[in-house]
Chains A and B, each alone.
Chain A
Amino acid sequence: MPAWTLIAPEGVLLFCALLALFADVLVRGRERAAAWIGAAGCALAAGVSLYAGRGQLFGGQFSIDGPAQVARTATLLLAAAFLVWLAGEGLRRGRVREFAALVLFATLGALLMAAARDWIVLLLALETATMPAYVLMGFDRSDDRSLEGALKYFLLSMVASLLFLYGASFVIGMSGSTAFAATRLQGGTIGIIAAAFVCAGLLAKLSAAPFQWWAPDAYAGAPSAAVAFVSSVPKIAGLAAFARVAQLLMPQVPQVGPLLVAAALASMFLGNLAAYPQTDVRRLMAYSGVAHAGYLLVGLATGTEAGLRAAVFYAIAYAVPSMGVMLVAARHGNTLDDLRGLAARRPWVAWATVLMLVSLVGVPPLAGFTGKLYLFTAAMGVGLTWLAVIAVAMSVVSAGFYLRIVRAMFFTTSAKPDIGGAQPAASAAVIVACALAVLAIGLASSPILSAISAGR
């Protein structure tokens, strides 16, 4: 296998993104062709990513190991699913072409993020992944709330990037190199400051506490379709990058462990408790994302191979249903009221949503449960039993607000007709596929775990 195939998925995406921008010219009058092109590109890139295997490029700046390969493949498959949904559903205000291209650029950034092994490359990848997201979040140009949300997202995301860059500058200065492999942090205050700033930037990108406040406001203003993508797909790669950074910093700066534990704790509490009063599905899922970032951090805080593996697995187990639920909201309405009686109108979509929601709660045999089993096993393996106890208690709390969505869909009726008439087959299939994926990931976790461990 020639080494350049490792970065071939990026190439495929770049090509498809450019192609998508000109899709109108190529296929006249078929705006959604761009999304189909993108979906095909992502699927192809996922195949290439599996086929290309693991290895290094550019003197080790770009490296694909087990976690990176799994994260990249999962990101691509999820992006493909999103684009199929987009192709089926379209956008209420049109401009699918730009939307699809932006999604592809963001996915491209996410891929680079998972593979980056250099502080500067990681920063560039982070920016490539978030820059298109600013536009996606403000896609409704005529809607002030969307613009407000996008602006908030932009400003806070920039702050996060700068925090990260500030920390990274210390790291690079101390190490005398930008490569991960050459990173040597000094002990004492200066090392702690460097590590803390780097982690703060990454925590903010992951919407983990105490840097979570941008998420609910930004999501609540944005179009649901944009939220579905931004809140889920880049998170897998982001987590993979964070895992690598945490693994790099923890042995050198012992304070990183407790810092991650504290962030995990705060995220789980804040996310789960603040999700309770929400009636807007986007805000609810924003806080749910904060809570799940907390679970992911439990895995990173262990600093072990098992914890890292569990965290990467859980990132996928979180992203799939999270995207699925948001896509349901994107079509059927953003508030709990809109979802009332959905079971009677759209039984398949409603049951698929149930599967995804109970997976987020952590009910076996679904992906969320399997992921939590591995996370908590890793945490308890390093003596963080108390943290695991709090985490399981918090997942009971989470049942309360996820079940409110189920209750709205199943136990109540609504006189409101469904929005937008008959559902296109493509978008319905994506919802059902997400639900089935949740089941499959939960049952067949073994091959995924092997793939994550491979080549390390």
Chain B
Amino acid sequence: MSYLLSVIIFLPLLGAAVSALVPKDRPGAAKWVALATSVLGLALTAAVVATFDRASGAMQFVTNVVWVPQAGVHYHLGVDGISITMLALSSLLGLVAVIASWKVTDRAPAYFAMLLLLQVGMNGVFVALDFVLFYMFWELVLVPMFFLIGMWGGARREYASIKFFIYTLAGSVFMLVGMIALYLSAGTFDMVELARAGSSGVFGLGFQNWVFLAFFLGFAVKVPVWPLHTWLPDAHVEAPTAASVLLAGILLKMGTYGFIRVSLPMLPQASAAWAPWISVLAAISIVYGAAVAFAQTDLKKLVAYSSVSHMGFVMLGIFSLTATGLNGAVAVMFSHGVVTGMLFLLVGMVYERSHTREISKVGGLSVAMPVMGGLLAFASFASLGLPGLSGFVGEFLSLVGAWQSAVIPHWITVVSAVGVLLAAAYMLWMVLRVVLGTPTEAVLGLPDVTAREVAALAPLIALTLVVGVWWSSLLGFVDPAVKALLALVTGAA
């Protein structure tokens, strides 16, 4: 069964190759290739999830083969409860992105090939257990995303795509330096071994501190943590809908996943030492993101800035260094992926019909397109953290974890909690203007959601409800892995 993960990662690569080779006179075939690949990938992921031992906090479905013996590089894959959550999200959103792109006809074979190539990187990051492999998948997502934004994006696509590429590359190359430093110090690129070495005190605090900084640059740009977030609004606004969904849903999570998988266990003392400062940045991200979201007149930018705010909760939960906080962080990662995916899809549908994303021009959806309006309201409620929907679980637990935390000052938690109120305010105000009210000229007479669009949204709606009501459906996977991780971190401190 251990080969399953490899198949899940590289199946989209095969799909991408087939999609690129689709004959010129039948460009429509590409999307069917992409759909088939994504459905199969999701089914295989479901098989992994179904046979996953939820009681264990250890790595499962492990593959470990020597790749470059001279440099200590292995082909090492495996999943624990945290990775499998993210892998499931990645497979699901990968499929959703394909369905959402069904109407793309401009250079379709290349488009779907890029979408599938992106899936290779996304899936790979969450299951790689060798640092070089991890870095390869990490960087692999840059290229297809660069093209998705640059070739199929909006008006300022060139600027946004290059800014995205260079900004995130700048962060990750420092990660490369940190990774080599760990290798030279511990003699291995194996992430499981490095975590063990980190928790058993192989790395001195001075060394940990600068390596932590190197990783911080790599991960924080991706999250993004204020003040490294400036690439995000540009990339989001210019990206095509499917790319936005994957950018917000998966790519941002790669950053927080990096903190969980790398920084915490490998550099435990440095993580504890930096936690108060990072919690300050997290609180600033939460409040700043929310405040800026308030001021947006563009629907997509509003959702983009709300991501900055939500990812702040993830950072807060992670650096609380408590089981509650980490559970919350992973729950926000999952829920934000689902809910923001939904929001971007809906914004994309509105834009596709009305050709505008100006909040003032798309009022009164509940009259013009009742189903669309209802769904947008539902997604907004989930996003603002209404109890009973998935958004609530994680943010609640993150805040509780931060309050319990020995390293985060209480006032940070209080400030962050204000962010929840702000989120409610800007989301409800948006709902008030866009969903309620009298319909504007731009949306009158537009068709409501189609069956295909509902198909893209349905799994996300279902997950929002299920996780919101039945927390343990998600946390049952996450908790044992979190406990195992914290045993490493606190064992060292």
Contacts and interface: CB of A to CB of B under 8 A. Distances in A.
Interface of A: 309, 347, 354, 358, 361-365, 369, 372-374, 376-377, 380-381, 385, 388-389, 392-393, 395-396, 399-400, 403, 407, 410-411, 445-446, 449-450, 453
B70 A453 contact: yes
A347 B113 CA distance: 13
Contact of B177 (A369, A388, A446, A450): A388
Contacts, number: 86
Given A373-B132, A376-B180, A396-B166, A363 B70 contact: no
Interface in B118-173: 132, 135-136, 139-140, 142-143, 146-147, 150-151, 157-158, 161-162, 165-166, 169-170, 173
B71 interface: yes
B135 A380 contact: no
A388 B180 contact: yes
B181 interface: yes
B158 A411 contact: yes
A407 B170 contact: no
A433 B493 CA distance: 53
Contacts of B150: 407, 410-411
A365 B68 contact: no
A354 B69 CA distance: 29
Interface residues of B, number: 33
B151 A380 contact: no
A373 B70 contact: no
Interface of B: prevailing SS = helix
A308 B151 CA distance: 41
B143 A363 contact: yes
A91 B71 CA distance: 44
A364 B140 contact: yes
Nearest to B66: A446
Contacts of A407: 150, 158, 162
A453 B146 CA distance: 38
Nearest to B170: A396
Contact of A377 (B67, B71, B139, B146): B71
B174 interface: yes
Contact of B139 (A354, A364, A380, A393): A364
Given A407-B150, A411-B150, A396 B169 contact: yes
20 contacts: A347-B110, A361-B169, A363-B140, A364-B136, A364-B139, A365-B136, A372-B176, A380-B181, A385-B177, A385-B181, A388-B180, A389-B177, A395-B173, A396-B169, A396-B170, A399-B166, A400-B166, A403-B146, A411-B158, A411-B161
A112 B431 CA distance: 75
Contacts of B142: 363
Identify the interface centre among B71, B173, B183: most chain A CB within 10 Å of its CB: B173
A446 B166 contact: no
Identify the interface centre among A358, A369, A373, A385: most chain B CB within 10 Å of its CB: A373
Given A365-B140, A407-B158, A446 B68 contact: yes
A450 to B, nearest CB: 7
Given A392-B174, A449-B71, 9 more contacts: A309-B70, A363-B169, A364-B136, A365-B140, A380-B177, A385-B181, A389-B177, A399-B169, A411-B151
Q: Which 4 A-B pairs have the closest CB atoms?
A: A392-B173, A364-B136, A446-B68, A449-B70
A370 B139 CA distance: 13
A373 B180 CA distance: 8
Nearest to A310: B71
B147 A410 contact: yes
A393 B158 contact: no
B1 interface: no
Nearest to B166: A399
B50 interface: no
Contacts of A381: 184
B135 A364 contact: yes
A321 to B, nearest CB: 15
Given A377-B183, A403-B162, A410-B151, A449 B68 contact: yes
B177 A376 contact: yes
B388 to A, nearest CB: 43
A83 to B, nearest CB: 29
Identify the interface centre among B151, B157, B166: most chain A CB within 10 Å of its CB: B166
A410 B151 CA distance: 7
A450 B140 contact: no
A102 B158 CA distance: 43
Given A369-B139, A373-B132, A410-B150, A392 B177 contact: yes
A430 B424 CA distance: 59
B140 A446 contact: no
A377 B68 contact: no
Identify the interface centre among A347, A374, A399: most chain B CB within 10 Å of its CB: A399
A389 B170 CA distance: 11
A410 B161 CA distance: 12
A398 to B, nearest CB: 10
B209 to A, nearest CB: 14
B71 A399 contact: no
Contacts of B158: 407, 411
A453 B173 CA distance: 27
Contacts of B110: 347
A388 B179 CA distance: 12
A380 B210 CA distance: 14
A400 B146 CA distance: 13
A365 B169 CA distance: 14
Contacts of B139: 363-364, 369
A449 B136 CA distance: 19
A449 B73 CA distance: 13
Contacts of A450: 70
A373 B179 CA distance: 10
Contacts of B162: 400, 403, 407
A374 B69 CA distance: 12
A204 B63 CA distance: 48
Contacts of A385: 177, 181
Contact of B173 (A347, A396, A449): A396
Contact of A392 (B70, B176, B183): B176
Contacts of B169: 361, 363, 396, 399
Contacts of B143: 354, 358, 363
A446 B67 contact: yes
Contacts of B68: 445-446, 449
